[in-house]
Amino acid sequence: MPTQLTADWVRQHLPTRPPNAHKGTFGTLQIVAGSRRYRGAAALAAEGALRAGTGVVQLAAIEPVCAAVAARLPCCTFLPVAQGPVGGIAAAALPDILAEKATAVLAGCGMGNTADTAALVGGLLAQSPHPLVLDADALNALAAASASRQSLFPPLPAGRGEIILTSHIGEMARLCGQSTEAILKDQPGIAQSFARRHGCTVVLKSHVTVVAAPSGALLVNNTAGNAGLAKGGSGDVLAGIIAGLLAQGLPAQAAAGAGVWLHATAADAAARETGQAALSPADLPHHLAQVLLALGH
């Protein structure tokens, strides 16, 4: 039976914040995101992670993206990297990215669906030991690469951290080679089957969002959230929240489940002020702070 995500469930799974803590206590998240065309995605993901309590958020991005995010979030740290021929992160930046210390990595938000992105995602999977969240263009790259091999992932390093995929219905359809209608018809079953087969945690987003673990355990969020989230950028905030919780040491299923509920509940709080039509993804981090405060965090 699936477990319903609730305030009590999330409260029990959030990381504690001891009074003698320092920034290292709450992890370091490396975000590999953004491109010349999609600069805001990196900012939304980074702010989601910061508001989720992450100790250090580092953004690896091309210089124009770093500059844009620094103007909004001066508390981030930055790794400016080489720009590829179409305005995204160059594949040649991979060694610099891998050399940085982190407790978790998020890749994909606004990177662009390019050959460089595909090479970076493949390199992170094959060489990074850290827990990894793949979102947006990282999932598109994974879908394209998997079509040419039996396994979804390339050979993975021994002892690598857990992997979370934060996919919407369309992305899962591409990953599975099925139609969106087929995914919607059996959203929980598809998520569970995919998670078991590939050994990763799957967040499958729609008007109902499910989280499936490799063990077959299933979490469901069908009470929080609203149609105000149906805007570009909402998923970037969610990916940042989940990755931020992962960086703080939560297991993948707990980070994904808590992140999904916090994101949806923040959207409900925002909609009470703005209405659903006017709700902006940029409103979510502020309201996430309110939700965490209400939970005693």
| Separation between Cα atoms, residue 111 and residue 137, nearest integer Å | 6
**What's the number of domains the chain is made of?**
1
Within-domain flag for 10:
no
Of 4, 3, 69, 16, the closest CA to residue 292 belongs to 16
Separation between Cα atoms, residue 247 and residue 161, nearest integer Å: 11
pLDDT (0 to 100) of residue 148: 63
Contact 7, 221 (CB under 8 A): no
159: helix, coil or strand? coil
Report how far apart, in Å, the C-alpha atoms of 223 and of each of 209, 233, 262 are.
10, 21, 12
Q: Is residue 136 part of a domain?
A: yes
Q: Structural domain of residue 271, as residue ranges?
A: 27-292
Evaluate whether residue 274 is within a structural domain: yes
Q: What is the pLDDT of residue 154?
A: 77
The answer to whether residue 14 sits within a structural domain is no
CATH number, domain of 167, equals 3.40.1190.20
d(CA 114, CA 123): 14
Per-residue pLDDT at 146: 74
Is residue 266, in this structure, part of any structural domain at all? Answer: yes
List per-block mean pLDDT (blocks of 10 residues) for the chain, which spans 297 residues.
Answer: 96 95 97 97 98 98 98 97 96 97 98 96 94 97 76 78 97 93 96 94 97 97 97 98 98 98 98 98 97 95
Residue 187 lies in a domain: yes
Indicate whether 11 belongs to any domain.
no
**Within-domain flag for 105:** yes
Check residue 145 and give its pLDDT: 80
